[in-house]
Chain A
Amino acid sequence: MAKVIIIGGGPAGCEAAHQLANQGIEVELVEKSNETGGNLNNWYQLFPDRKYAKDLNAILKGHLEHPNIRLHLGMEPKKIEKSKTGKFNVPLTDGSLLEGDSLLVATGFKIFDARRKEEYGYGIYENVITSVELENMFYNHAITTAGGNTPKRVGIIHCVGSRDEKVCNYHCSKLCCITGVKQAIEIRELLPEAEIFCFYMDMRMFGPGYEEMYREAQEKYNIKFIRGRLSEAAENMQKQLQIKVEDTLVGKPLRMTLDMMILLVGMESSEGTRQTAGELGLNLAPNGFIQPQDPHYRNNFTNVEGVFVAGCGSAPMNLTDTLADARSAASCITAYVKNHKI
């Protein structure tokens, strides 16, 4: 029986494992943390349908209970090698050695380190948090400032670490806009009295139901949208944030005091992605993600034969696209192992 090694047990890795197993292919799924799900574990609800992330996670996890799938949790590849015969040898940190006919890179993304955008004050001002930390507040059904107060005015800052030459990230992370809209709605549900603002450069509502959600946020949840990029923030004695943006649609600089500021942190290629790409000699796109062979027809193929990519290792994408990408990769791998008569 053919055997495929999957590096990364996030949504893409899990879904691909499930699909491959159903095709009668043996799967070795390697995940560095002690549970599968990857970044999904940090999310509370998903856009646009507000499904609980843990529910989706449970489905994906359930699919892994398959006789063809062997799970290696808390394990990292010590190195990844392609032998002369085209086989992949992956020694793991526990000393075991995996051997496969094909390799799927599902190493995903990492969240932009907001401290690199120093003028926004993350890690310096106590009431500046990231969108990931906000999800954790949603879990606990409580949004409070660091001082324990209920914020009266909250600002959500789009494009932190995305579309920014100043941190060498030229790409759009795609998901932050809709995440911002979703989170604004969730904040409204917990803080009915608060004023909630989104500061954006462009609203990129690319998915089904996204634009509708944006509309709903304005209409039903009274979220205010200001088109202007945050330039800098300062902190006052009350630990509030004084921000400087330009209200570009009015054409005037705007000063505003916020009780809490949320940074919609963008996506970068993960260390795992870069490391795997380095060891296998995979081409990276200028934005640091893995470069697929062709953006349309061979988007799961890499420049190394037998190595496939799925999910956010190749570009920022939402869950819908990630899961579809995983299935597409699984079908490509199935064809590959059949053609090679493995």
Chain B
Amino acid sequence: MTQPAKETYQKYTQEKYTSEFLRNKLKLKSLETKTSLFEKYPHVKKFLDEKGLDLDKIRKHSAKVITTGALTGTLLFAVPTPSRNLPVISSIVKNITDFNSESSKPINQEKLLTNLREILPDNVGPLTRSQEKQIEKVINDVIGVNTKATLEGEHLNTTYGFIGLEQHLARYPGDNVTYMAPGRGAWGYFAGSKSNLTEEAIEREKWYVAVQTLYLPDWEERLSYVKDWYKYRKVLVVNTANGNAVIADIAEAGPAAWTGKQFGGSPEVMNSLGGSRYTKGAVVMFFVDDPKNKVPLGPIQYNNIDLKGVTMVEV
């Protein structure tokens, strides 16, 4: 049943009023914040002007500093805890090979977790290239999925971070499901209409993740290429607390850096990683190297082994 014209108009103006109203409020707040800082500390404005630095765009500057440091090999992510003796890849591989040489046992989640714990830093944060290479090897050998931290020159904002629960995305215009986000995802609808909704599109929305494409160093400059490259790109997500793993696809941009999280997961992704009450946790996320599109979306089955102190979630 269509709404009367007057009500539709009022709803439209109310929605427009709300978002425009908020944008203006935030812009005013932004102006107040800048004025407060620069009036209190005029020398700060002078310093920033001399350096050509805009605090509104400091994240972009940070991305350039980090990229430049990585390219010149001068970047060292300071480890807040005493540096660890990273295990040599050969010893990790030996652990895996010794295990695999025994009779055809199902994939051992404990081996995966043990190896990850040896490699990952104490604090959740960006990994070094060396750490990423070791994790690629472990994942490829234990889980059997070919993953890459850097694929075709592309690298996520981070490969080790916190994932948070996201809402469902609208799959087509007029879609209405429980716990659905307002508006469309960053890459729009998954289908033009309900009648065009394919099984593939359903699966893509069901197993989607959000990644921080908005913080890639040259996202804006390469927008067209990057947007296309990341659309529905498959990733492997591993819960580093319990070893649960899922193949997901990128279908949303975010979350914002100031949420304390670096990734988002659909309700199904989060459920498969940690159960129905799992809303935030540390994960590693790597690209799946799957040029022939053979790796299906969804959870990767592990044997159910009760590890001491770790709740295993049946997937």
User: Does chain A bind chain B?
Assistant: no
Binding site for B on A (CB under 8 A): none
